[in-house]
Amino acid sequence: MNLRPLGDRVVIKKVEAEETTKSGIVLPGAAKEKPQIAEVIAVGPGGVVDGKEIQMQVKVGDKVIFSKYSGNEVKVDGEEYTILRQDDILAIVE
Amino acid sequence: MNLRPLGDRVVIKKVEAEETTKSGIVLPGAAKEKPQIAEVIAVGPGGVVDGKEIQMQVKVGDKVIFSKYSGNEVKVDGEEYTILRQDDILAIVE
Amino acid sequence: MNLRPLGDRVVIKKVEAEETTKSGIVLPGAAKEKPQIAEVIAVGPGGVVDGKEIQMQVKVGDKVIFSKYSGNEVKVDGEEYTILRQDDILAIVE
Amino acid sequence: MNLRPLGDRVVIKKVEAEETTKSGIVLPGAAKEKPQIAEVIAVGPGGVVDGKEIQMQVKVGDKVIFSKYSGNEVKVDGEEYTILRQDDILAIVE
Amino acid sequence: MNLRPLGDRVVIKKVEAEETTKSGIVLPGAAKEKPQIAEVIAVGPGGVVDGKEIQMQVKVGDKVIFSKYSGNEVKVDGEEYTILRQDDILAIVE
Amino acid sequence: MNLRPLGDRVVIKKVEAEETTKSGIVLPGAAKEKPQIAEVIAVGPGGVVDGKEIQMQVKVGDKVIFSKYSGNEVKVDGEEYTILRQDDILAIVE
Amino acid sequence: MNLRPLGDRVVIKKVEAEETTKSGIVLPGAAKEKPQIAEVIAVGPGGVVDGKEIQMQVKVGDKVIFSKYSGNEVKVDGEEYTILRQDDILAIVE
């Protein structure tokens, strides 16, 4: 079963805290809008969204940092995903 | 009796929880703006909505995930439907 | 006495609950922004509204579903009407 | 003494309740944003307002229905007027 | 000492209550956003303000009605002035 | 050490109260959004800001009146400055 | 590990308070939206962001002043960074 996001939306899967620690990335726990690291699972086609041409900047497999309270969480086939707009992705981690 | 949505609106019918479980999709119960899975019943013509050209990306029969608190609920001929804007649909489930 | 709505406004008259039941349409009572069914009585000319070209999609006699808290209620010649923007009409019932 | 409204503003004078009853128009007292009937006294020139071209649709002498809490009230030569934007006028009564 | 307002701003000086009464204009005291009468002292050049071309409609010496809570008050050489945007001026009194 | 403001931002330095009194400008103490007088220290280049072309209207050395709660305060080399957008400057004092 | 910001976002690293004092820049502690000094670590590509063409004005190594509550904080490889939009940068310190 696949999720095919619409417009400028992106499906991401949060990287587990353990894995996060291993990769050396630690997120502050008390930050009000604390960022999150995740892997991009699916990317919408972009195009005209709300009257504006959006080009997608992320691709499947990218590790990204995003704002925690953006997006919607959904569980598919027992896996939890987050669906958010590309604009809620802050940076790609390389 | 049919519902013909205007502009970029879409009529959807929520997939029952039992059916959801069978298809392997489980939605977290406590999420504040928890997404929902539904089937597309009718699609508006799109066109210029609020001064912006909208092209419809979903079609009748699509299974979609949407934000729970978006849209309006209505009961027609004993069936409950939700009418929302296409932009409140997050992804198509395939 | 007639009401001639301006711009993208539409004058509608709510269909009585009894009549609603006969037509098989029942609206949930507890929905926060519960939709309503009504008949279109008068339609504004559309045109440029707030800098955007609006084309009217509904016509006199259409049965429509709209969001309850949108629009203004007015009583003319003893009859109650609602005046709302076309964008507050969700769908046409056929 | 005259009031010459700027841009898309319109000067209206509320029709007295007695007169309202005679014309058969009664306004519900408990509506939260209850509409009002009034006569148009002066009409702004329209033109570009907030970057949008506005064409005036009402003329002096029109009877109009408007939203109660829109506009500003002012007393000139002992008479009370309301100055509002044309967009706050819902319909012309004929 | 002169005030030269920027963009679409206008410097006005409120007309004293006594003078107001003499001219026959009385403003209701309890109105929440009560209008005010004032004389235009200086007018900005207009031009492109917030991306929109603004043409100034008022000139020095005009008597105008404006919304009370709009604008900023300032005292220069012992005189109190209000600086507001032209769009907060409702009408010219003639 | 210099501050080079970005876009339509302007660095200003408040004129001391004593100096203010000498120049005859007194600001009302109780005004909710009380204006301030200041000298322009540095001016951003203008250009396209938030998608709109901004032309700078003030220059270094201008005395300006601005809204108190706009802008950010910063202390550089022991001197306090305010950095605000040009649109928060109400008028130039000449 | 690198952070590659998207669109008009910028990665900055706050300059320590000690260093701040040495450079002679002191920030007021009680300011509600108190500015911060930081060094630019990475700069997004700019381009069309939210339908507007953004040109990046800052470069890696710039010392900048920004509004404290803008942006998101993230810790990478034990170092704390802030990711914000270029528009939240007030000025470059030279």
The pLDDT profile of chain C, 94 residues, written as one tens digit per residue, is: 799 999 999 999 998 654 444 455 555 544 334 457 899 999 999 999 989 999 999 999 999 999 877 899 888 888 899 999 999 999 999 9
Query: Pairing between strand G3-5 and A89-93?
Result: antiparallel
Check pLDDT > 50 for residue E21.
no
**Chain D hits for E84, Cβ within 8 Å:** none
Nearest Cα residue in chain F from G24? F77
Q: What integer pLDDT is reported at residue G32 of this predicted model?
A: 39
- Residue located via tokens 């769908």: C91
Check pLDDT > 90 for residue D27.
no
Nearest Cα residue in chain G from A57? G6
Higher pLDDT pick, D40 / E28:
D40
Residue E22 to residues E12, E62, E81, Cα–Cα distance (Å): 20, 17, 21
pLDDT digits (tens, 9 = 90+) for F61-84: 999 999 877 899 888 888 899 999
**Chain D hits for E71, Cβ within 8 Å:** none
Highest-pLDDT range among D49-53, F7-11, F20-24: F7-11
Contacts across the A-G interface (CB distance below 8 Å): 75
Question: Two tokens at B76?
Answer: 């027609």
**Chain G hits for A59, Cβ within 8 Å:** none
**Chain C hits for B76, Cβ within 8 Å:** 24-25, 93
Check pLDDT > 50 for residue B75.
yes
What residue ranges of chain G have pLDDT lower than 70? 16-35
Q: What integer pLDDT is reported at residue F24 of this predicted model?
A: 58
pLDDT digits (tens, 9 = 90+) for B85-94: 999 999 999 9
Main-chain phi, psi angles of D21, to 5 degrees: -65, -40
Q: H or E segment at G43? A: strand G35-43
Chain F positions contacting chain E at CB under 8 Å are: 23-28, 31, 33-35, 51-53, 55, 57-58, 65, 67, 86-87, 89-94
Strand order in the sheet with D9-14: C3-5, D89-93, D63-67, D35-43, D9-14, D79-85, D72-76, E25-26
Other residues' Cβ atoms within 10 Å of the Cβ of residue E76? 21
The subunits that touch chain A, with at least 3 C-beta pairs less than 8 Å apart, are: B, G
Q: What integer pLDDT is reported at residue G92 of this predicted model?
A: 97
Other residues' Cβ atoms within 10 Å of the Cβ of residue C51? 13
The C-alpha of G77 sits at a distance from chain F's nearest C-alpha, in angstroms, of 31
Chain B positions contacting chain A at CB under 8 Å are: 23-28, 31, 33-35, 51-53, 55, 57-58, 65, 67, 86-87, 89-94
Q: What integer pLDDT is reported at residue B67 of this predicted model?
A: 83
**Chain C hits for B7, Cβ within 8 Å:** 57, 87
For chain B, list the domains and their CATH numbers.
9-93 (2.30.33.40)
Check pLDDT > 70 for residue D26.
no
